[in-house]
Chain A
Amino acid sequence: MKTRFAAILSILIVALVLIAPGCKESDDTSEGGASAVDKPPIKVGAIFAITGPASFLGAPEAKTVEMFVEKLNEAGGVNGRKIEVLIKDSGARPENAISMAKQLIDEEKVLAILGPSTSGETMAIKNICQEGSTILLSCAAAESIVDPVASYVFKTPQKDSDAARRIFQTMKDMGVSKIGVVTSNDGFGMAGAGQLAKYAPEYGATIAISETYDKAETDLTGVLTKLKGEDVQGVVNWSIVPAQSLVAKNMKQIGLDVPLFQSHGFGNIKYVEAGGEAANGTIFPCGRLLVADVLPEGHPQKDVLVQYKSGYESRYNEDASTFGGHAYDAMVILVEGIKKAGSVETAKVRDAIETLQGVVGTGGVFSFSAQDHNGLDQNAFEMLTVKDGKFAVYQK
């Protein structure tokens, strides 16, 4: 009898010990300590893919948010209130994102949710946030996030369609018309393939061949040989790391010497380093973060970009990427929305965000409307290229 009792008790204790942290496991970055602020902090949630297959998105995004919130709170917060951000790691799994979104909405009753990092996760929680009347500021790229528009759902990355159009415009100016397209099989690559196919005719370009490869592919010489066989005048690669640098290298190695266009997923100097010499000459549309230092003084984005880039690099000792920038923009938009609304009532903040115009972020200058929950257009992109292993603005 005694042993049975002891056994039950120990199991219960173990279970409680395991569950108790579950009640307060979220990453709490509220600035405690004595301050003149009496009002409770504003609760904001964040779901990022910090580990797992999309960690190159989620890890910088989470770090950016932490850094931003710390600086903001040090400066006194927003409208006199500090921000408390609860960051959760979904591992790029939509079912985890769903569970965490429900936690944030039902339990923590957050004002807004930043992220998720991937389109699949965002689409999984889009309805949940809409029905839960919680603002969602997604850092994922799919057009379907804001089309059809759900009143509470916004996204910060630039439009894939704008990227495709800028690429085609540049191609047209270069005189390149017959191209080969290679895309990865993840959501980003898929979306890109669709946009490229859609806009090619408009700019007089013909896609001679379009192939999809696995995002974790280790050798692309086979696929590129196929493109070479079609005598293409240019190659567009729409993917994320690690395939981007692989395409660049393999192209040069098999002697496919034509211009290489990448997508705005090429947003980190590390990818240039990975590609070595092969990365030189790549042309791609991108937010101006990567060339922040060489932007002319007086450019509307210059200050924000330089501040973010140097702040991130000095604090985390790693290169800033445009992906972290999407999270930065989400925070900026939220803060501007709170300021403009003058309140933290979700509906009011949402209305305020929808009327924001000319908000300077890293991805571009945002102007929202009831139909446009992305706020960016073609001009958010700058055509960049790689010269001598560094990013430079593309000159014709």
Chain B
Amino acid sequence: MRLRTYYPVIAGMALIVLLHVVLRVADATYYMTQITMSAYYALVVIGLCLLMGYAGQISLGHAGFFAIGGYTSAVMTTYNLSPWSDSSWVGGLDSLGLLVRWEDLYGTEILSFSPWVAFGTAILLTGIIALIIGMPVIRLKGHYLAMATLGFGLIVYRVALGTPILGRADGISNVPPFRFIDGLQVNGRAPFRVQNYYIAWTAVIVAMVLSLNLVRSRVGRALRSIHENEEAAHSLGVNTYRYKLGTFILSALFAAMGGVLLTHYNGSIGPSEVTVMKSVRYVAIVAVGGMANLWGALIMGILLNFLSLRGVFGTFDDAVFGGILIAMMLFAPQGLLRVPELRAFSALLSRRSHG
């Protein structure tokens, strides 16, 4: 494990702390809200970058995995089991320590699953669904893969929109904070702002380190060979199917993580998180960051989502992402950071001297 490969990560961590200090000095820590939210969306982007950039598989339905994670967590932590508190199975769950009692804003006592249980279930469920969907779908190529992933995203959307327990069109609100240990929780309220800023960035750093390791390992090289030329890789004995499926599932898990954490941060989730436009946005961010450039995708993800959440694009929000997609594909298919003018900058972030 060469330390040199982690220079960018260490630099990134320093930048994060620096940003905190700058905001503190400028008395503008409220920007942390949008940065935190963007960081959680970035988890989806990192996973998608692995899938699209390294494994070369497009996914037009990745918001679906975000939603599966978020909704599962939301339902399990808000569904009130009090009416059944006398029954044996609820009693059993309680004795196993899987349930928590809490009071919502209006004084109602709620008995629901603990956020840890919800989190675990969400990740597990996403993994299973990704496996089931991925198995047949990963075999497809090009347009057919795009359509299949689009179809998946649409099904998740319809399910979210049509199921009463998922709140239908209004979604689920009143989602409680996610308490890790005493004093550390995922919570969108102002007093916890700085804490959550660091929690979000920690999640992102963990995801980045995992991804960077993956990309530089044997698996990463196998993926790149698949992306270059699948038949050649296959003929060399690379189990292309397994690698593609594995990457698909991993990227789904990253998205679900983002979903769970953001849902607890926002305190709510709705069908708007799983529209086709949302999935397209994630694709646009990966495209502009550089298909196979994890750092590019991360930076662009934070920047674009930050601006969008603050309403900077005004009524042209969707148009901006559409324009980005086109501009990128026409002028900079390798991403913004590989354009010759910016090569020098990208050299800072990679090991190569010339970018």
Contact = CB atoms under 8 A, between A and B. Distances in A.
Interface of A: 3-4, 6-8, 10-11, 15, 18-19, 21-22, 25-26, 50-52, 88-96, 98-100, 102-103, 106-107, 119-120, 123-124, 126-128, 130-132, 142, 144, 148, 150, 185-187, 189-190, 212
A102 B33 contact: yes
Given A131-B189, A187-B170, A89 B314 contact: yes
A56 to B, nearest CB: 14
Q: Is the interface of B mostly helix, strand, loop or mixed?
A: helix
Nearest to A101: B33
Given A4-B348, A106-B190, A144-B170, 14 more contacts: A7-B343, A7-B344, A18-B307, A22-B312, A89-B314, A89-B317, A91-B317, A95-B272, A95-B273, A98-B268, A103-B30, A103-B310, A123-B268, A190-B170
Contact of A127 (B34, B105, B161, B272): B105
A150 B30 CA distance: 25
Nearest to A9: B345
A64 to B, nearest CB: 17
Q: Is the interface of A mostly helix, strand, loop or mixed?
A: helix
Contacts of A131: 105, 189
23 contacts: A6-B344, A7-B344, A18-B312, A22-B307, A51-B317, A89-B315, A99-B37, A102-B188, A103-B34, A106-B30, A107-B28, A120-B171, A120-B270, A120-B271, A123-B170, A124-B171, A124-B267, A127-B105, A128-B188, A131-B189, A187-B168, A187-B169, A190-B170
A124 B314 contact: no
Interface string B278-317: 0000000000000000000000000100111111101101
A4 B108 CA distance: 59
Contacts of A90: 311
A144 B168 CA distance: 14
B259 to A, nearest CB: 11
B342 interface: yes
Interface centre among A3, A99, A119, A130 (most CB of B within 10 A): A99
Contact of A95 (B37, B311, B315, B341): B37
A119 B307 contact: no
A124 B270 contact: yes
A102 B267 CA distance: 13
Nearest to A184: B169
Interface centre among B34, B189, B268 (most CB of A within 10 A): B268
Nearest to A126: B173
